[in-house]
Amino acid sequence: MDINFVIEKFALVTALFAISLVIAMYSTYAERKVAAFLQDRLGPDRAGPFGILQPLADGVKMFMKEEIIPGNASKWLFMVGPGLAMLCACIGTAVIPWGQDLNIGGRVVPLQVTDINVGVLYIFGVVSLGVYGVMIGGWASNNKYSLLSAIRAASQNISYEIAMGLSIIALLLVTNSLSLKEIVEQQHGFGWNVWVQPLGFLIFMVCSFAETNRAPFDLPECETELIGGYHTEYSSMKLGFYLFAEYINMFVSSAVMATLYFGGYNYPFMDTVAGLSWVTPNLAAIFGTLAFFLKIFAFIFFFMWVRWTIPRFRYDQLMNLGWKVLIPLAIANIVITGIVIAVIKF
Amino acid sequence: MGTSVFYVVATLSIIFSLMVIFAKNPIHSVLYLIVTFFTFTVHYVLLNAQFLAVVNFIVYMGAIMVLFLFVLMLLNLNKENEPNKSAFVKILGVIAGGCLAVTLVGSFKAVAINSPMVLKNPNLGLVKNLGKELFGPFMLPFELCSILLLAAMVGAVLLTKKEEKANG
**CATH number for the domain that contains residue B62:** 1.20.120.1200
B71 and B88 in one domain?
Answer: no
Mutate to test the interface with A, among B24, B57, B149 (most CBs of A within 10 A): B57
pLDDT tier, A220 (very low <50, low <70, confident <90, very high otherwise): confident
pLDDT value of position B144: 92
Among B50, B66, B74, whose Cβ lies nearest the Cβ of A116? B50
Q: Alpha helices of chain B — where are they, by DSSP H? A: 2-22, 26-46, 50-55, 65-75, 87-113, 117-120, 127-135, 139-167
B100 and B35 in one domain?
Answer: no
Contact A157, A237 (CB under 8 A): no
**CB–CB contacts below 8 A, A to B:** 61
- Residue A120 one-letter amino acid: V
In chain B, the residue whose alpha carbon lies closest to the alpha carbon of A134 is B66
SS3 state of residue A109 = strand
Residue B131 within a domain:
no
Residue B129 within a domain:
no
Q: Which domain holds residue B73?
A: 1-80
pLDDT tier, B168 (very low <50, low <70, confident <90, very high otherwise): very low
Q: Average pLDDT for residues A310-315, to the nearest whole number?
A: 83
Q: Is pLDDT of A50 > 60? A: yes
Other beta carbons less than 10 A from residue B113's beta carbon: 6
Among B27, B61, B66, whose Cβ lies nearest the Cβ of A157? B66
Residues 6+ apart with CB under 8 A from B136: none
B35 and B5 in one domain?
Answer: yes
Bridge partner residues of A103 (DSSP): A108
B65 and B53 in one domain?
Answer: yes
Model confidence pLDDT, tens digit, residues A280-310: 778 888 888 888 899 999 999 998 888 888 8
Per mean pLDDT, which of A108-112, A177-181, A291-295, B42-46 is the most reliable?
A291-295
Query: How many domains is chain B built from?
Result: 3
Give one DSSP letter per residue of A191-253, joined into a string. Answer: --HHHH-HHHHHHHHHHHHHHTT-TTS-GGG-HHHHTTGGGTT--HHHHHHHHHHHHHHHHHH
Distance from CA of residue B77 to its chain's centroid? 22
pLDDT tier, B148 (very low <50, low <70, confident <90, very high otherwise): very high
B150 and B75 in one domain?
Answer: no
Model confidence pLDDT, tens digit, residues A184-205: 888 887 778 888 888 889 999 9
Q: Using CA atoms, how far apart are residues A330 and A37, in angstroms rounded to an integer?
A: 35
Q: Average pLDDT for residues A315-340, to the nearest whole number?
A: 88
Average pLDDT, whole number, for chain A? Answer: 84
Residue B56 within a domain:
yes
B54 and B36 in one domain?
Answer: yes
ipTM of the assembly?
A: 0.79
Residue B133 within a domain:
no
SS3 state of residue A97 = coil
pLDDT tier, A69 (very low <50, low <70, confident <90, very high otherwise): confident
Q: How far is A273 from chain B (nearest CA, A)?
A: 36
In chain B, the residue whose alpha carbon lies closest to the alpha carbon of A119 is B54
Q: Average pLDDT for residues B7-18, to the nearest whole number?
A: 90
Average pLDDT, whole number, for chain B? Answer: 81
Q: Average pLDDT for residues A303-318, to the nearest whole number?
A: 85
Chain B contact set for A83 (CB, 8 A)? none
B76 and B44 in one domain?
Answer: yes
Alpha-carbon Rg for chain A in angstroms: 21
Please give the model's pTM, rounded to 2 decimal places: 0.84
Residues 6+ apart with CB under 8 A from B110: none
DSSP state of A95: G
Contact B67 A157 (CB under 8 A): no
Q: Average pLDDT for residues B16-44, to the nearest whole number?
A: 87
Q: Using CA atoms, how far apart are residues B35 and B40, in angstroms rounded to an integer?
A: 9
A84 touches chain B (CB under 8 A): no
Contact A117 B126 (CB under 8 A): yes
Q: Where are the extended beta strands (E) located within chain A?
A: 102-104, 107-109
Last residue of a domain, one of B80, B100, B116: B80
Q: Is pLDDT of B108 > 50? A: yes
**Exposure string (b/e) for A276-289, b if CB count within 10 Å is 16 or more?**
eeeeeeeebbbbbb
pLDDT value of position B165: 58
Residue B132 within a domain:
no
Contact B61 A125 (CB under 8 A): yes
More confident residue, A331 or A50: A331
Distances in whole angstroms, Cα of residue B97 to Cα of each of A135, B10, B92, B141: 33, 22, 9, 30
